[in-house]
Structure 1
Amino acid sequence: MAKKKKKSETTENSETEEEIIEKEVLRTDFEKEFEEDFEDELDLEEELELLDTDDMDTEVGDIDKLVDKDEEKKQMYLSCGIHIGTKLLSGDARRFIYRQTNYGLYVIDLTQTDERLMTAAKFLSKYVEEGSDKVIVSSVRRYGKEPVKQFCKVLG
Structure 2
Amino acid sequence: MSSAMIHILNGPNLNLLGQRQPEIYGHETLDDVARACAQLGQELGLQTECLQTNHEGALVEMIQQARHAAQGIIINPAAYTHTSVAILDALSAFEGPVIEVHISNIHKRESFRHHSYVSARADAVIAGCGTQGYLLALRHIAHVLG
TM-score band by shorter chain is under 0.3
Q: Which structure's CA Rg is the greater one?
A: 1
Structure with a larger share of its residues in helix: 1
Higher-strand-fraction structure: 2
Q: Could you state the TM-score of these two structures normalised by the residue count of structure 2?
A: 0.21
